[in-house]
Amino acid sequence: MGVTAGTVVRVNGPVVDVAGMDSVAMLELVEVGEARLPGEIIALERGTATVQVYEYTGGLRPGEPVEASGGPLMAELGPGLVGGVFDGMLRRLAGAPEFLEVGARPATLDRSLRWRFVPVVVEGEDLEAGAVLGSVPETPTVEHRALVPPRIAGRLEWIAPEGEYTVEEPIARVAGRELTLLQRWPVRRPRPVRARLHAGAPLVTGQRVLDLLYPLARGSTAAVPGGFGTGKTVLLQQIAKWCDADVIVYVGCGERGNELADVLQELSELEDARTGRRLLDRTVLVANTSNMPVLAREASIYTGVTVAEYFRDQGHETVVIADSTSRWAEALREVASRTGQLPAEEGYPPGLASALAAFYERAGRVRTLAGAEASVSVLGAVSPPGGDMVEPVAAHTRRFVRAVWSLDRDLAYARHHPAVSWRDSFCRDADALAGWHSLHGDWNWGERRVRALSLLAEADRIEAIAQLIGAGSLPDVERIVLLSGRLLREAVLQQSALSANDAHCEPSKQAALLDMVLALHDCFRRLLDQGVPATRIEETDLAEATRVRDEAGPGDVEAVEAVRGRLLATLGGLL
Amino acid sequence: MSAGQHIEYSGASSARGPLLVIEGVEGVGWDEVGEIHLDSGEVRHGIVLDVHRDWAVVEVFEGTAGLRLDEVRISFSGGPLRIPVGESWLGRVCNGRGEPLDGGPPIFGRERREVSGRPINPAFRETPRDAILTGVCAIDGLATLVRGQKLPIFSVGGLPHLELAAQVAAQSRVAEDEPFAVVFAAVGITHADASDVRDILEQRATIGDIVLFVNTVEDPLVERIATPRIALTVAEYLAFDRGRHVLVVIADVTSYCEAVREVAAARGEVPSRRGYPGYLYSDLASLYERAGRVRGRPGSLTQLPVVTMPAGDITHPVPDLTGYITEGQLVLSQELDAQGIYPPFDALGSLSRLMRLGAGPGRTRDDHLEIAAQLYALVARARQVADLADVVGADALGPSEHRLLEFAEAFRRDFLSQGKVEAHSLDDTLQRAWRVASQLPRRELSMVSTATLDAYYRRREEDGDAPSGPAG
């Protein structure tokens, strides 16, 4: 762990060459210059190290000193993360000035806070790596569990009694090692688990189009590609607010500052429907806006997923939301071009695809070292330049994720929100989840989904024809498909993020709404068979079907079923 | 902008484009500013782009034209570019480097700040709220500009975007008792345009709540990279230290980006899309993200950048990356311009994403968001009807469809259209909105609540809600 010192020889923006760095490692963290700017070693060549610096390097000169830290970029983990706002290197932003200074470095965790620690183990026990030592009520919703760090195991020689401790005070001694609430973990290395498990329960997002048509299993991965103005950020924020996970890590990676201010404000005002507590009490916000140092943006993805893995190892269901992975990829490209790497597609480094794969691979449902079942789900936004879906980030991401929720510009223009396209989206967990649903009492789940998707496809096909020849010239049987398709879009798939009743929807109401539309469609067909013309069906006032999603509460199945009953009765009267 | 007195180095070893290589330097830092003296007595300015042991690559703001390698004498300031900040900028006209063009004394301030600025800590940002009223009906009514927002004008060469930006700069205001200021950065515009802008802004200049920076096309290209940053540094001081609501207009960002591209090419960087460097997004964000509000400080910084889309292509990197950073866009249309409509505001392409934070109950007027949503919906329907009419002929349309086409015409002539020195109060704007919406039967205004309709809907006598068939 000897500290090596070197000297700056070249400064080119955030890329700095340092001489005299003989015994340093790749990706080792260094402090550069008199301002002690943090940086990482990204290339080594005979005593000269190339360092990418995480801060603005203005004024940095050849000749200034560089100090190596002896290890890679680490995340500081412990109580105090939840409810906090951090930059891409996980430095606490609440402790930083209003306008961020270069080199000012508040730590992740507040050293002065005291946390209530309740031990759950007794001295003399043999503990494995990852075992739970005790718990800390971090927020009203998240119980923090202090763990034996990975790779440490053995006899518990001493455990602190119940009481209040700072993150630096010892709470246990295992096999001669003193442990504190604060631990460190290198952000680029996945935290170990006992085993990876198959997909189990769904991650309920509360967004109908996702849960009904393109659902995600806990521990799975999804990408949300969409051009600007298609509502990526709103959709991801809705998921951050309403999905049924224990801990959310929201990584604002190279995006708008005003948006993060908005998220922060809403999360501190909104209540979690399940716990009645503030949503902020289950959220860790990593905020590296587009004007903050670009290399900390590159790190933010890894720090975010490391925090999520840490809470997973405590047995929590966690979700990482990364908005946007394209900005992260651009940060990779920026470094690559400054270090003179040969560019591959569109200037991105050749390692882009493997870096994306490795990032999404950190998701998963696992058995933790402590033996619990827990998961990290990863959702990443993709912002393709010019809305071009074959550009490298969008194209490679599709290969590695379990679901793509593709946002469509035409839908967004038509104010159909969320603008998740049923033409370009996919989901590979659907079969597994259909099995899970039928084991948990919803036998029709898979069939309902398939019927909805085929109705949408059929309606699209007929709509294309109608645009050429006019809807009036279509046969009756096709006209009612158009009608049902419109109902499906307006009464089920559209969802208002601003409405108190509609912003999130419980699975029972989701199913009831879709069942209602499918039942109406069946009824239309029966009416046709019995000689009722399509025009009479079209003239029937079905607006109630569309209004009920907004007028009934998020879990009000009875209201939906009542509407369904009334409408079926009205239609029955056409005979 | 003057450099401190440090060691002077003589002679450059090479020059390429705007770049000079100086050898034998010591203690020179990256992004540091240098002052270059030539034999003629001329002084130019440069910035360090790369420093390697004892040589430094310097980008010369004024360009390298006419400069011999052996006559270069350069001294470095010991730090990145700084300018004085203070209220003494108000009422001044300067060039793109912040030097007076108005014959007045040089600008001093109590403090000098780095023009690159410091990022606002996201944990201390406050959500934008409240409007800046521009007096332009299309903007105030349909895409309200919110304090702390960045809302670009997307346009094409030949359209009156500069006039519109200058009109907004000349007319904008906040409530009476709140301090306001405008900082206008003209970047890479022609002399004729520059003098038009100065004329439009003259009245505001005499009141003294505007700062004007002018970098014209013949000014050195690399100076363009500094101009918006200088303007934003002045604006940040006025907003966050002096509590003013500051509107910053940057016209034209595309010229700025071309300068960035040219410098990147001179440095031999690997180009990304259309020759622009891969970091263009971060670079633009370093300008746009300086808009905002800061918790506990009364002022705000709002940006109205002008982006001309080369060949009208919205997927061009400059508008595309801008759209990803800004909060909406105001799009100008060639079609409307050709019909003589000013401002040629394309309602369907335009959007102020933060409008709900700046307009509506408790902010502007209770009916504002409703009537705006209604106008958008009607314009969208009218567009569909117009498309249909192109295919089937206007004769084949029904009465409700004809009414929509008439509405669209009224919307253009009686709502969008206004004079270049004409300012409308918000009540005036909304009254115009209701007047055109009220040409349609009341039942067609489905997005407005009954209470709002009762209060504002005025059906003209001659419309007569004649019983026609069921609506479209």
Here the ipTM equals: 0.85
- Chain B: residue whose CA lies nearest to A99: B120
Q: Assess if residue B363 is contained within a domain.
A: no
pLDDT reading at A394 higher than 60: yes
Per-residue pLDDT of B40-51, as tens digits, reads 999 888 889 899
Per-residue pLDDT of B49-105, as tens digits, reads 899 999 999 988 778 999 999 999 999 888 888 999 999 999 999 999 899 999 999
- The CATH code of the domain that includes B101 is 3.40.50.12240
Average pLDDT rounded to a whole number, residues A72-85: 94
B319 and B170 part of one domain: yes
pLDDT at B389: 83
Q: Assess if residue A519 is contained within a domain.
A: yes
Average pLDDT rounded to a whole number, residues A266-278: 83
A421 and A483 part of one domain: no
Residue A81 near residue A309 (C-beta atoms within 8 A): no
pLDDT reading at B467 higher than 50: no
* Facing A56 at nearest CB: one of B116, B148, B354: B116
B166 and B306 part of one domain: yes
Q: Chain B interface, mutation test: which of A256, A260, A325, most B Cβ atoms within 10 Å?
A: A256
Q: Assess if residue A98 is contained within a domain.
A: no
- B49/A12 CB distance under 8 A: yes
A200 and A165 part of one domain: no
Write out the residue range of the structural domain in which residue A562 sits: 445-572
Q: Assess if residue B469 is contained within a domain.
A: no
Using CA atoms, how far apart are residues B99 and A531, in angstroms rounded to an integer? 84
Average pLDDT rounded to a whole number, residues A308-334: 94
Q: Assess if residue A62 is contained within a domain.
A: yes
A64 and A123 part of one domain: no
A115 and A24 part of one domain: no
Question: Total domain count for chain A?
Answer: 4
A167 and A214 part of one domain: no
Per-residue pLDDT of B178-196, as tens digits, reads 999 999 999 999 999 999 9
B333 and B444 part of one domain: no
pLDDT at B1: 40
Q: Assess if residue A142 is contained within a domain.
A: yes
pLDDT reading at B293 higher than 90: yes
- Dihedral angle of Cα A470, A472, A474, A480, to the nearest 10 degrees: 120
B277 and B351 part of one domain: yes
B329 and B383 part of one domain: no
Task: Classify strands B210-216 and B245-251 as parallel, antiparallel or unpaired.
Answer: unpaired
Two tokens at A283? 């959220």
A225 and A324 part of one domain: yes
B26 and B143 part of one domain: no
- The CATH code of the domain that includes A213 is 3.40.50.300
* CB within 8 Å of chain B, chain A residues 377-406: 383, 385-388
B146 and B284 part of one domain: yes
* CB within 8 Å of chain B, chain A residues 5-34: 9-13, 17
Domain boundary among A399, A429, A459: A429
Mean of all residue pLDDT scores within chain B: 90
Q: Assess if residue B131 is contained within a domain.
A: yes
pLDDT at B262: 86
Closest by alpha carbon to B121, among B353, B302, B290? B290
B306 and B183 part of one domain: yes
pLDDT at B264: 82
B311 and B432 part of one domain: no
* B268 interfaces chain A, CB cutoff of 8 Å: no
pLDDT at A1: 41
* Facing A100 at nearest CB: one of B31, B121, B291: B121
Domain boundary among A181, A215, A244: A181
CA distances from B443 to A486, A530, B452 (A): 22, 35, 13
Q: How far is CA A61 from the centre of its chain?
A: 40
Chain B residues with CB under 8 Å of A262 CB are: 127
A560 and A470 part of one domain: yes
Write out the residue range of the structural domain in which residue B64 sits: 8-80
Per-residue pLDDT of A333-345, as tens digits, reads 887 877 777 788 8
A200 and A176 part of one domain: no
* B330 interfaces chain A, CB cutoff of 8 Å: no
B216 and B349 part of one domain: yes
Q: In degrees rounded to 5, what are phi and psi of residue B424? A: -110, 140
Two tokens at B368? 């504002």
B56 and B126 part of one domain: no
- The CATH code of the domain that includes B38 is 2.40.30.20
Helix (H/G/I), strand (E/B), else coil: A214: coil
Mean of all residue pLDDT scores within chain A: 92
Using CA atoms, how far apart are residues B355 and B108, in angstroms rounded to an integer? 38
A283 and A387 part of one domain: yes
pLDDT reading at A571 higher than 90: yes
- The CATH code of the domain that includes A162 is 2.40.50.100
Domain boundary among A22, A48, A71: A71
Give percent above pLDDT 90 in chain A.
70
Per-residue pLDDT of B108-117, as tens digits, reads 988 999 998 9
Confidence of residue A473 (pLDDT cuts 50, 70, 90): confident
Average pLDDT rounded to a whole number, residues A503-519: 96
Average pLDDT rounded to a whole number, residues B127-133: 94
- Chain A: residue whose CA lies nearest to B117: A99
Helix (H/G/I), strand (E/B), else coil: B204: helix
Average pLDDT rounded to a whole number, residues B227-236: 97
Helices marked H in B201-316: 202-207, 223-236, 253-266, 280-288
Two tokens at A133? 């030592």
Q: Assess if residue B470 is contained within a domain.
A: no
Chain B residues with CB under 8 Å of A343 CB are: 270
Chain B residues with CB under 8 Å of A289 CB are: 119, 122, 285, 289
Confidence of residue A221 (pLDDT cuts 50, 70, 90): very high
Sign, CA dihedral A302-A308-A309-A311, equals positive
Q: Assess if residue A120 is contained within a domain.
A: yes
A274 and A394 part of one domain: yes
Per-residue pLDDT of A33-71, as tens digits, reads 998 898 989 889 888 999 988 888 888 999 999 999 888
Q: Assess if residue B468 is contained within a domain.
A: no
* A254 interfaces chain B, CB cutoff of 8 Å: yes
Per-residue pLDDT of B382-431, as tens digits, reads 988 888 888 777 787 878 889 999 999 999 999 999 999 999 999 999 99
Question: Total domain count for chain B?
Answer: 3
A164 and A205 part of one domain: no
pLDDT at A451: 97
Entry pTM: 0.90
pLDDT at B459: 58
B248 and B323 part of one domain: yes
Per-residue pLDDT of B248-276, as tens digits, reads 999 999 999 999 998 888 777 777 778 89
Q: Assess if residue B133 is contained within a domain.
A: yes
pLDDT at B463: 45
Q: Assess if residue B446 is contained within a domain.
A: yes
